[in-house]
Amino acid sequence: MKRIKMGCTTLSIPAMALGIMRMNQKSVPEAQVAIQAAYDAGINFIDSADIYGSGKSEEIFGQAFSQMQIKREEMFIQSKTGIVPGKRYDFSKEHILHSVDEILERMQLDYLDSLVLHRPDALMDPEEVAEAFDQLQAAGKVRFFGVSNFDTAQFKLLQSCLSQRLMFNQLQFSLKHTGMIDFGMHMNMVDKPSVDRDSQFLDYARLHKVTVQAWSPFQYGMFEGTFIDNDGFPKLNQELQKLADKYEVGKNAIAAAWILRHPANIQMLVGSMNPQHIRDSAKGAKIRLTRQEWYDLYLAAGNYLP
C-alpha cells in the first residue's frame, strides 16, 4: 500500500482508509472480514462518524475489532462529530466532548487517533472549539484533529484559534465529482466548469500541507449510486475496463488510481464492506496512470477541456 505523509507531520498513513458508514448493515463476523481484508491490503486507517447507522456502525466495529488479533497501535482510527441528524450542526464544546466519550464507548477504545468536525456549523465559535480540542488532547482522548467539507476561509478561521494543526479536510472527489480541479483548467472562462465551488481548497491544502481525504470515490451525485458498471455511464466504464485489462485489475482499482495520481497526495476513503471490492480498490494504490490515461478517464467521465 502506498504511504503518504499525514498533514504537516512526518508520520506516514496509507493512501487509502476504510470508511465504515455501512458497517451497521453487517454482522460482527462480516465486519471482521471487511476489516481484515483492508488490513491485509495495507489499509490500517479507519474512518467513522458518530451518525453512521445512528451509532450502530461504531458499535459493530467495536465488537468486531475487540475480538481480532490486530493490535490497537497498528491501526489509525478516526471518527467525526458535529451533526445532530435532522436538527442542527453542533460544534459546541459540550457536544464535542460528550460525542467523543460516546464514540470511545461504542468503539471500545481508550483514544481516537483523529477527530474530524463533520460539516461546517454556521454557529461555530472557534475559541469554543479550541477549548474542546485542548481538553480532549490533554486527557489523551484524541491525538490529532481535522474537518470535513470546510471551505478555505472556514478552515483558516478555525485554524487561527487552535493550538493544534488541522491535519485533514474531507471533501467529495471522484471521476464524477471533479469540481475541485475543473475550475483551474477553465480559468478565465465563463462556462459552468469555471465556477469555483471549493474556494481553491485543493491548492491551499498543497501549500499548507493539509491532507485531503476523498469521500465517495466511486459515487456520482450525492450518494445517488456508483458509476462503476452503471449503464448510465457507458463511455466511462469502457475506458475503465480498457485500463483495468491493461493493468490486470478491476475497475475500482482504476478509479482509485485516478484519484491517487493527483500530486496533492490525497487519501481516498473506501466505503465498501465487500472484501473483494476492498482488495481491488487497494490495488489502485500500486498503479501510476500515465498523464494521457488520467486525462482520457477525465474526458470519458463527461468533462471537457477549453
Q: Give the rounded distance of the alpha carbon of 134 from its chain centre.
A: 24
Q: What is the CATH number of the domain that holds 274?
A: 3.20.20.100
Is 4 part of a structural domain of the chain? no
Does any domain span residue 2?
A: no
Per DSSP, the residues of 83-127 read: EETTTEE---HHHHHHHHHHHHHHHT-S-EEEEEEES--TT--HH
Could you tell me if residue 1 is inside a domain?
A: no
Radius of gyration in angstroms for the set of CA atoms belonging to the chain, rounded to a whole number: 19
Q: What cell does 293 get?
A: 490515461
Cα–Cα dist 88/97, whole Å: 17
DSSP state letter for 56? H
The rounded distance, in Å, linking the Cα atoms of 83 and 120 is 9
Rounded distance between C-alpha atoms, residue 69 and residue 153, angstroms: 43
Is 183 contained in some domain? yes
Q: Which domain holds residue 164?
A: 13-300
Examine residue 81 and state whether it is found in any structural domain, yes or no.
yes
Distance CA 208, CA 200 (A): 12
β-bridge mates for residue 148, sequence order: 118, 170
Residue carrying the nine cell digits 458508514 = 21
Whether 239 maps to a domain, the answer reads yes
Indicate the pairing of strand 142-148 with strand 112-118.
Answer: parallel
Nearest to 266 by CA among 21, 42, 7: 7
Rounded CA separation 252/240 (Å)? 8
pTM above 0.75, yes or no: yes
Contact 195, 155 (CB under 8 A): no
Please indicate, yes or no, if residue 206 is contained in any of the structural domains.
Answer: yes
Domain count along the chain: 1
In a domain, 305, yes or no: no
Which pLDDT does position 156 carry in this prediction? 98
Q: What's the pLDDT score for residue 57?
A: 98
Q: DSSP characters for 156-224?
A: HHHHTT-SSPEEEEEEE-BTTB-HHHHHHHTTT--SGGG--SSTTHHHHHHHHT-EEEEE-TTEETTTT
In tens digits, the chain (306 residues) has pLDDT values of 999 999 999 999 999 999 999 999 999 999 999 999 999 999 999 999 999 999 999 999 999 999 999 999 999 999 999 999 999 999 999 999 999 999 999 999 999 999 999 999 999 999 999 999 999 999 999 999 999 999 999 999 999 999 999 999 999 999 999 999 999 999 998 999 999 988 999 999 999 999 999 999 999 987 789 999 999 999 999 999 999 999 999 999 999 999 999 999 999 999 999 999 999 999 999 999 999 999 999 999 999 999
CA–CA gap between residue 290 and residue 71 (Å, rounded): 38
Cβ burial of 23 (10 Å; 0-12, 13-18, 19+) is buried
